[in-house]
Amino acid sequence: MRYTNVRVNISENQKNNIKRSLEHGEPVSIRLSYNDLCGDDVLALTNSQVNRMTKAYENGKGITIKMSKRQVEHNKTIEGGFLSLLAGLAAKALPFLGKTVLPTLATGALSGVGSALAQKATKKLWVNDCI
């Protein structure tokens, strides 16, 4: 799956929900009001989610983003994303990472490179200066 990094505002409560979903390997939903569609937090979203977010912004509305457990896991790897949120999980996660995540990182890295090249080629980079 290809993701686009988007800057939004995420509350502390929502960050806790994301952290909990990572700990339990579950999907999570994040409600973003119109004013939260621009911010300092980074989320990696699918093209469909970006399109829905753009439409919500243009209509002056908020949106609920439903993130799969795979998408939540991907957001761990985003520079400027939730890395600081995950610092407390590092000690717990090391045994889990060695068995499950690390073998898939090579695949994820290759897919990330492909995604970046595709975005550059199509020049559909999300520039979130509040659209």
Helix, strand, coil percent values for the chain (each to nearest 5): 55, 15, 30
pLDDT of amino acid 80: 64
pLDDT digits over 82-98, tens only?
544 554 455 555 555 55
- Alpha carbon 69 to its chain centroid, in Å, reads 11
pLDDT digits over 15-42, tens only?
999 999 989 999 999 999 999 999 999 9
pTM of the model: 0.64
Write down the domain spans for the chain. 4-122
